[in-house]
Chains A and B, each alone.
Chain A
């Protein structure tokens, strides 16, 4: 690899794209495991998945890589944003952004900041408890009862509202980010790009919708 690549504008964008796609792959895993609550069996199936994720050494090692990827994505975004601000020291008096681009493609920094704030709260709600402060005992199968934490957390209406709104931020972040990552990596093709774009839209709607459904259905008592 040439020395300048990671320092070049394109190299930095490639890092954004690759870490973005990596975080997307995490969302898939996270979503699949959380979907186990839809068995509606008092969390028994879900706790099997959660217990496995908490104690498998490969997953634990993956968690470190995940945090590294997340931090890289955030740090790189900050560097790029600061550089972009410097590229236009005197702004326009009148801008008609809607004429040439979508608001969410221009607001990735804002959406990302909202997601980071949500993520911190979300980690405090679940990850910190499962790793450090301890979970409230075990379920009937003898698995650690992360499900009980979910039930407790999603009794609070403000939490449910916050989670649902944050998933809207995630949807818009993905709506631009998914296809943007492929474009940055140079994967633009007359046949495949329309498919990537459609997949991106479906992913950006479906995954946050499923995530949002969990606190809402638990709050409403549909999932017990």
Chain B
């Protein structure tokens, strides 16, 4: 803890509560006192949940795993933005010092037809898994591991592929997009493999299958507002969407 000067907050939290996928759900208001500014947003929820449990009430369901910004589980739409007011962070990397004493914080689940609410703030992102399963792979022969530099890859290609591979599949792009489009996610996955020699065999088939799977899941259509890129905790670039558009167009007119 710090020196103790202004390090504790009193907050009003409006949280979405929903029993299950079929229930309608509504907001529940909680008054929080003495929240340390050193806490992460998820730790603040831990404190609230402990309080709820000690009062014999049901804890608020939310997804979380690594709590270091790499697993992409902590899906929370905070005060009108996925992962809250900071850029380039997940909810677990958001700290209470980003809020002011007396603030009202509204927390909602990702809103998308393709991400049904399981309970409270937890949503089912199985749609992303099914898109990956449709084409987000490469075929390699089994056997001994190959020497790392057997296939030489130009540095710019390696850099672009690596930047695309930074996508953690958190779904903030879908949550941020006014159309609920998953194009940033899918384009990152398509790009990552299309840029590398290992991804060439299934290149055309992959983009056709993954875009078809994306459309099948009921995600919306991209209108290039750029909200996804601005809210992506991993800084995935819109260039990937342009690349996917090129890939699909080329694969469709072969």
Contacts and interface: CB of A to CB of B under 8 A. Distances in A.
A10 B244 contact: yes
B112 A88 contact: yes
Nearest to B218: A87
A117 interface: no
Contacts of A87: 112-114, 179-181, 218-220
Nearest to B178: A106
Interface stretch (B45-53, B55-63, B74-82): B74-82
Nearest to B242: A188
Interface in A150-187: 176, 179-180, 183-187
Interface stretch (B5-13, B131-139, B145-153, B246-254): B246-254
Interface string A94-129: 111101111001101000000000000000000000
A1 B250 CA distance: 9
A8 B106 contact: no
A11 interface: yes
Contacts of A187: 242
B212 interface: yes
Contact of A180 (B80, B219, B224): B224
Given A90-B111, A94-B80, A108 B223 contact: yes
A99 B221 contact: no
Interface string B211-254: 11011001111111111001100000011011111111101110
B211 A88 contact: no
A2 interface: yes
Interface string A1-45: 110110011111110000000000000000000000000000000
Given A88-B113, A92-B108, A14 B249 contact: yes
A13 B248 contact: no
B215 to A, nearest CB: 5
B27 interface: yes
B81 A83 contact: no
B161 interface: no
A199 to B, nearest CB: 16
B176 interface: yes
Contact of B245 (A97, A108, A184): A184
A84 B80 contact: no
A1 to B, nearest CB: 5
Q: How large is the interface on A (under 10, 10 to 19, 20 to 34, 35 or more residues)?
A: 35 or more
A94 B249 contact: no
Contacts of A14: 245, 249
A88 B180 contact: yes
Given A2-B251, A5-B252, A186-B242, A84 B225 contact: no
A188 B220 CA distance: 22
Contacts of A61: none
Interface residues of B, number: 50
A88 B108 contact: no
A137 interface: no
B208 interface: yes
B218 A86 contact: yes
Given A1-B252, A9-B214, A188-B242, A80 B111 contact: no
A99 B239 contact: no
Contacts of B245: 10, 13-14, 183-186
Contact of B108 (A8, A12, A94): A94
Interface in A58-81: 80
Given A2-B252, A93-B106, A84 B179 contact: yes
23 contacts: A1-B252, A4-B208, A9-B220, A10-B211, A10-B244, A11-B248, A14-B249, A80-B221, A84-B179, A84-B220, A86-B113, A87-B219, A90-B111, A94-B79, A96-B81, A97-B80, A99-B80, A183-B238, A183-B241, A183-B242, A184-B222, A185-B249, A186-B242
Interface of A: 1-2, 4-5, 8-14, 80, 83-84, 86-97, 99-102, 105-106, 108, 176, 179-180, 183-188
Interface of B: 14, 27, 77, 79-81, 85, 106, 108, 111-114, 176, 178-181, 183, 208, 211-212, 214-215, 218-227, 230-231, 238-239, 241-249, 251-253
Given A14-B249, A94-B108, A105-B224, 19 more contacts: A4-B212, A8-B248, A10-B249, A13-B221, A80-B223, A84-B223, A87-B218, A88-B179, A89-B113, A90-B111, A92-B108, A93-B108, A100-B81, A101-B178, A106-B225, A184-B224, A186-B242, A186-B245, A188-B239
